[in-house]
């Protein structure tokens, strides 16, 4: 092995680096301060055969918070159950209350069994639901079929 070289930075470079880091910190605190100003939000429910993920965004689409059945503590096939979906929706309702959002638009995506129970759980928490939209992607013609096999 060769000789190890230590790179030393000058005082000017260290000051520039510190200013850049402090600028990022200030920008981050500024963003956090604007989170509490939202009166309206969007909730995206993604329900698959393996998991359920619920995301809270601002009206422009910036993610404020998210949670999933795996994050709460469910493992394996229990993550895709309606019970897990209702627990995830309850955890998301607490996050919505922290951000003081009163009106929500809900977008449901996927074919899993937890989508209805998650939607019902959010509706039962007392939020003003503006709209519910199903955004599950639907193939219109599918992929091109393979060529005919010649033997």
> Are residues 92 and 54 in contact, defined by beta-carbon separation less than 8 angstroms?
yes
Number of Cβ within a 10 Å radius of residue 97: 13
> Are residues 109 and 49 in contact, defined by beta-carbon separation less than 8 angstroms?
no
pLDDT band at 30 (very low <50, low <70, confident <90, very high): very low
pLDDT of residue 113: 87
pLDDT band at 151 (very low <50, low <70, confident <90, very high): confident
Tell me 114's DSSP state: T
pLDDT band at 7 (very low <50, low <70, confident <90, very high): low
What value does the mean pLDDT take over residues 62-73?
Answer: 91
Hey, which CATH number is domain 41-134, 2.60.40.10, 3.30.420.80, 3.40.50.11540, 3.20.20.70?
3.30.420.80
Q: Which is higher by pLDDT, 90 or 16?
A: 90
- Phi and psi (nearest 5°) for 49? -70, -15
pLDDT of residue 29: 44
Tell me 143's DSSP state: S
């Amino acid at each position: 092995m060769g000789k190890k070289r230590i790179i030393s930075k000058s005082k000017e470079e260290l000051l520039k680096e510190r200013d850049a880091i402090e600028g990022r910190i200030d920008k981050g605190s500024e963003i956090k301060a604007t989170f509490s100003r939202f009166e309206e939000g969007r909730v995206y429910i993604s329900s698959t055969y393996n998991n359920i993920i619920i995301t809270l965004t601002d009206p422009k689409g910036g993610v404020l918070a998210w949670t999933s059945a795996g994050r709460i503590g469910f493992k394996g096939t229990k993550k895709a159950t309606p019970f897990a979906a209702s627990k995830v929706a309850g955890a998301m309702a607490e996050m919505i209350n922290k951000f003081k959002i009163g009106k929500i638009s809900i977008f449901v995506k996927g074919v899993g069994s937890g989508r209805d129970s998650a939607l019902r759980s959010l509706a039962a928490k007392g939020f003003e639901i503006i709209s519910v939209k199903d955004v599950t992607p639907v193939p219109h013609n599918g992929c091109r079929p393979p060529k005919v096999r010649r033997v």
